[in-house]
Amino acid sequence: MRSLIFAVTLAATILFNLFPMHAHAGDATLFKNPQCGCCSAYADHLRESGYKVTEIPTEQMSLIKKSYGISDDMASCHTTLIDGYVIEGHVPINIVDKFLSEKPEVTGIFLPGMPMGSPGMGIEKEEPFKVYSYDLNEGDEAVSLYAVE
C-alpha cells in the first residue's frame, strides 16, 4: 500500500511539473483517452473559439483527474487546463470565457458526465447544463453551482 501511495504521489508531482496549471492565457492542455472522439471534438470547439489546444492522449486519466482534485462525481471524459484553472468536461465556451474573465479564487469548473448537446457531444441538448466550481483548498465544502445553461 505504501508503494502505491508513493507511486501516485510521485506521478502527481511529475504531472504538476510537466503540465503546470499556470499556462499562457489562450493556451489549453487537454488530457484525454486516446480512443475518445468527443474529447477531440471538444478540443476543436476550443480552437474555433481562439484557444491554442495541445491534446495529450493518455491511458492514465484517473491519475490525471486525481492530481487535479476531480472526484468520480465531478468527472467527465477529459480534463483541460487553461490559464491556471481546471476545466473538467464539456463546459460550453461561453461559460469557460466568463469564468476565465472573472478569475475566481477556485481550482476550476466542471460539467459532470457527458451530457447530450454539450460541445463535442453533438445531437440536441436534452436538459440544462449545470456547471459547478470547486476549490481543492476548501475540500468538499467548496463545490458550488457556478452556472446553468
Residue, of 3 and 70, whose pLDDT is higher: 70
8 A C-beta contact, residue 122 and residue 78: no
The boundaries of the domain holding residue 82 are 2-148
Closest to 66 (Cα-Cα) out of 122, 128, 13, 143? 13
Determine if residue 118 is left, alpha or beta; phi over 0 gives left, psi from -120 to 50 gives alpha, anything else beta.
Answer: beta
Question: In terms of DSSP bridges, do strands 52-57 and 27-32 run parallel, antiparallel, or are they unpaired?
Answer: parallel
Q: Distance between CA 79 and CA 101 in Å, rounded?
A: 20
Across residues 91-109, what is the average pLDDT?
Answer: 96
Q: What is the CATH number of the domain that holds 98?
A: 3.40.30.10
Sign of the alpha-carbon dihedral angle for 48, 52, 32, 56: positive
Total domains in the fold of the chain:
1
Whether the per-residue pLDDT at 134 is higher than 70: the answer is yes
Q: If you ran DSSP here, which 8-state letter would residue 47 be given? A: H
pLDDT > 70 fraction of the chain, expressed in percent and rounded: 81
Each residue of 82-93: pLDDT tens digit? 999 999 999 999
Q: What is the pLDDT of residues 24-45, one digit of tens each?
A: 458 999 999 998 889 999 999 9
